[in-house]
Amino acid sequence: MKKYWSARIRDMVPYVPGEQPKDRVFIKLNTNENPYPPSPKALEALRQAADDRLRLYPDPECTQLRAAIAAAHGLSPEQVFPGNGSDEVLAFCFQAFFDPDRPVLFADITYTFYAVYAEYFGLTPRLIPLAGDFSLPVDPFCAGDAGGVVVANPNAPTGRAVDRADLIRILEANPQAVVLVDEAYIDFGGVSADALVDRYENLVVVRTLSKGHGLAGLRVGYALGHPHLMAALRCVRDSINSYTVDRAAQAAAAAAMEDAAYFEAQTAKVTATRDRAAERLRALGFAVTDSKANFLFVHHPRVAAKALLDGLRQRGILVRWFDQPRISDYLRITVGTDEEMEALYQAMKALTEE
Ligand SMILES: *Cc1c(COP(=O)(O)O)cnc(C)c1O
């Protein structure tokens, strides 16, 4: 019954997040969470922040957190905008930088939230088909008429990284538009565009602590870009909710950003497990894309992806399947611990040899 729903949302098809099961214990390889816990220093900062200061609003400038993020990227705090998860930061970017009268370009196979935001904010998406090997074609992004460009690097759900030279071509071909680079998975082997922020005033890099830092439950993400662009994001935020990052999240996220050694050790474990798991699945006959993310994107020549999805679920393993053109015969498998990937391998072996 949508009688009282606004016209704006009546026909909306919202984003569908991956399942968070409550009924039984699964091996959860479906939402790209980190299998390892966050930095102990982040947890300690979280505990320290949980005191009577919670009666006060948090610092709307996120001063300490912005300083920690800026230091980690070799940028200045004026080039940093933190938010309540990078999904929120992306939503603010769509509102801050794009208008309905010019198209917003993104790939046909990418993070499905971009299409949801485009619809919700009344924008005009132009879908650019990925090549057959899921690589990003550059020319269609360089027509010069874009009102905005959104690129996930590495892309989701394919895991494929974008060449830095290609990104630079897209930035230079679109001086009239903001180019958003969503680096949710950059911590697992891609090359960040963070250093390009000083060179290109139309570049916004969006990052999250959800994947690499193992803090999906904390909800902290951020944008990097020219101070004028960050001011536009503050304008959007302060028209909706000035306090998007709570006091405890600011403290914990700052501590996580400062603990570079822990972060690098955990992400290195994930990438090593990923590369081993990819090899083993290839040996079972799977086609596995060259993923630079914390997930694998796989296809089996004989067994349908939906059958594998259901068979894995029966064996207590959750993975993600997208009922979408071009990729409905692929599964996206989050990289877990070595033990979890062993269980996945054994289940895949049984399902493909049946
Ligand atoms: C997970 C993900 C995000 C969202 O991350 P949050 O910071 O948890 O909101 C953004 N973009 C892509 C491509 C993702 O996969």
pLDDT, tens digit, for every residue of 88-147? 999 999 999 999 999 999 999 999 999 999 999 999 999 999 999 999 999 999 999 999
Residue 338: the pLDDT is 97
Q: Ligand 1 within 6 A of 87 CB?
A: yes
CA 1 to centroid of ligand 1, rounded, Å: 31
Closest listed residue to residue 291, CA positions, set 331, 325, 260, 347: 331
Tell me: pLDDT of 354 over 80. no
Residue 152 Cβ contacting ligand 1 at under 6 Å = yes
267 lines ligand 1 (CB under 6 A): no
CA angle 105, 107, 108 (to 5 degrees): 115
Q: Is the pTM of this model over 0.95?
A: yes
Decide: 211 and 185 in contact? Cβ < 8 Å: yes
The atom number, within ligand 1, closest to the CA of 216 reads 8
Query: Which of 86, 244, 294, 334 is the best mutation target for the ligand 1 pocket, counting ligand atoms within 8 Å of the beta carbon and taking the most?
Result: 86
- Going by alpha carbons, the residue nearest to atom 15 of ligand 1 is 184
Q: What is the pLDDT of residue 306?
A: 97
pLDDT greater than 80 at residue 223: yes
**pLDDT at residue 319 above 80?**
yes
> Alpha helices of 216-259 — where are they, by DSSP H?
227-237, 247-258
Please write the tens of the pLDDT for every residue from 157-214: 999 999 999 999 999 999 999 999 999 999 999 999 999 999 999 999 999 999 999 9
**Residue 16, pLDDT score:** 84
The pLDDT of residue 18 is above 90: no
Q: Which residues pair with 207 in a beta bridge?
A: 222
The Å distance, Cα 83 to ligand 1 centre, comes to 12
User: pLDDT class for 69, splitting at 50, 70, 90?
Assistant: very high
Separation of alpha carbons 251 and 64, rounded Å: 8
CA dihedral 203, 17, 259, 89 (to 10 degrees): 30
Say if residue 23's pLDDT is above 80.
no
With pLDDT > 90 as the criterion, what percentage of the chain qualifies? 95
143 Cβ neighbours under 8 A, 6+ residues apart? 173
Q: How many CB atoms lie within 10 A of CB 72?
A: 16
Q: What share of the chain is helix, strand, coil (3-state, %, to 5)?
A: 40, 15, 45
Q: What local confidence, expressed as pLDDT, does residue 133 receive?
A: 95
Question: Cα separation of 272 and 335, whole Å?
Answer: 10
CA distance to 185, 256, 323, per residue, from 1 (Å)? 39, 44, 26
- The mean per-residue pLDDT over the stretch 312-319 comes to 96
